[in-house]
Amino acid sequence: MFKPCSFALRHYGLHRSLSTSAAVQNSPSPSRLVRIGNLTEDYDVQRTLHNAKAIPVEKAILNKDHLLVWFPDSASAARVVDSIFKRSENFTYEYEDPTPPLSAEIAAHIGLGAYRKIRIFNLPISTSTDSLKETFADSWDAMAHTEIVKKEKRGTATAYLEFADIRSAIKAVATPKVGLLQDTIIDYFNNSRIYNYPPFVHVRKELTYGGKRGIVISGIKDTDQVEQAVWSTIGSKTEAMVLDSEVVASQNSIVLQFATAKATFEFRDKFASAAKSLGVKMKPKKLDLDKSAISVIELGGSRTLYIRAKSKRGIKNSAQFEHFGPVMQVVKNGDITEITFKSFHDAMNALIQLEAGTHSLTGLKGASIYIPNTEPVTIAPPTLAPQTEAIRSAKGKEFLAKAEEFAAQANASLPAS
């Protein structure tokens, strides 16, 4: 595998930088493909790619004394290049020729929380590196670092596998050999203490607002009227800052989840007069910062999927997209059909399932699917029976449960009528 860290990389490892001025000075046209050169022969891949954990490295090619790294976008590449330039003269770097846009499928995986590192719980206590190598043989060539933590009292082990790029991690999660993995849990793992926030995230305001990215509108008498006022205030049902929305009819409430706390409080201020005239109450709620969704929003992602059909008539039966969760609106423009889901995560899940073929939707043969600023992927033929239950994303289901909980709490605090 790879030799231990060299002193130079331990000392000059890539660190966070909010400025990209040095990168811009050295290259007026940065691309998302960077060549990091002048590395020692025993350079450590894990350390070198550490700064890319926040917005995962799409692909990396390991060479003897240099590394080719594809970042999701040129801004992410520029941040790392600027960091190298400022902190070390030991490395050289250069932007390679412009590369194609990020694959829509990879962007969707990032939106659902994929990283270059995975962890596996409940492994046998006898698990070894050799047994892991056999289990993940198809993606082992891209392994950057492995660690096995054994819990003697429980008789189990937990393995941490870090790959050079996100494609290899996704492949490992999707297609491992199952022998060693019975009764285990595999998930993506991000232990990075560093996160490069995109320009639209105001970190100071996020702290000021206490991470309250959800808002509950309660005491509703006319749901349709209030919902119309909500989206009129937001401006568009496809607004990227909105990650999820749910009408909790049983509690006469609407719950919204925004990408940032700043967006939540901006909506609260704009909606205040309408809320007063409609006789409803608003209460911001704290939700954890969704880094993966923010990453994809910066890349152009939203709750809207664009599907280009081979026929100019477009997609005939768009109602079947409810298979992936509630749909807010469908807009047809020639051979392109825009499907806007209530949940950002349901949209990402739909894209992955359609690309993989693990769906039951028909009439999509030869169609391609994408989110803004990404390279389209082809929809695969269905492999599931038409009567299969809807496959909403895990985070979509989680928000539904949270929405019902928040709505019940809000209504319990309302004065008795």
What does the pLDDT look like over 229-259, one tens digit per residue? 999 999 999 999 999 999 999 999 999 999 9
90 falls in which pLDDT band (50, 70, 90)? Answer: low
- For residue range 175-189, list pLDDT tens digits in order: 888 878 888 899 998
* φ/ψ of residue 124, rounded to 5: -60, 150
Mean pLDDT, all residues of the chain: 84
Please tell me the predicted confidence (pLDDT) of residue 392: 92
pLDDT level of residue 194 (50, 70, 90 thresholds):
low
Q: What domains appear along the chain, each with residue ranges and CATH number?
A: 7-99 (3.30.70.330), 116-188 (3.30.70.330), 203-294+400-411 (3.30.70.100), 299-395 (3.30.70.330)
| % of the chain with per-residue pLDDT over 70 | 87
For 8, which DSSP code? H
**Cα–Cα–Cα angle for 315, 316, 322, nearest 5°?**
80
Q: Amino acid letter at 115?
A: Y
Does 218 or 97 have the greater pLDDT score? 218
Q: Is the distance from CB of 32 to CB of 76 less than 8 angstroms?
A: yes
Global confidence as pTM: 0.86
220 Cβ contact list (under 8 Å, min separation 6): 226, 252, 253, 254, 278, 280
Taking the C-alpha atoms of residue 35 and residue 71, their distance in angstroms, rounded to an integer, is: 11
